[in-house]
Amino acid sequence: GIQVEQSPPDLILQEGANSTLRCNFSDSVNNLQWFHQNPWGQLINLFYIPSGTKQNGRLSATTVATERYSLLYISSSQTTDSGVYFCAVNAGNNRKLIWGLGTSLAVNP
Partner 1 sequence: DGGITQSPKYLFRKEGQNVTLSCEQNLNHDAMYWYRQDPGQGLRLIYYSQIVNDFQKGDIAEGYSVSREKKESFPLTVTSAQKNPTAFYLCASSITSGVEQYFGPGTRLTVT
User: Which of residues 13 and 46 has its CB atom nearest to partner 1 in the complex?
Assistant: 46
x/- track of binding to partner 1 for residues 49-88 (CB under 8 A):
-------------------------------------x-x
Identity at 60, one-letter amino acid code: S
In degrees and rounded to multiples of 5, residue 16 shows phi and psi of 100, -15
**Is residue 33 at the binding interface for partner 1, with CB under 8 A as the rule?**
yes
Question: If you count them, how many residues does the chain have?
Answer: 109
From residue 61, how far is each of 35, 65, 93, 94 by CA, in Å?
A: 11, 13, 25, 24
The answer to whether the beta carbons of residues 43 and 86 sit under 8 Å apart is yes
**Is residue 39 at the binding interface for partner 1, with CB under 8 A as the rule?**
no
For partner 1, the binding residues (CB under 8 A) are: 30-31, 33, 35, 40-43, 45, 48, 86, 88, 90, 94-97, 99-102
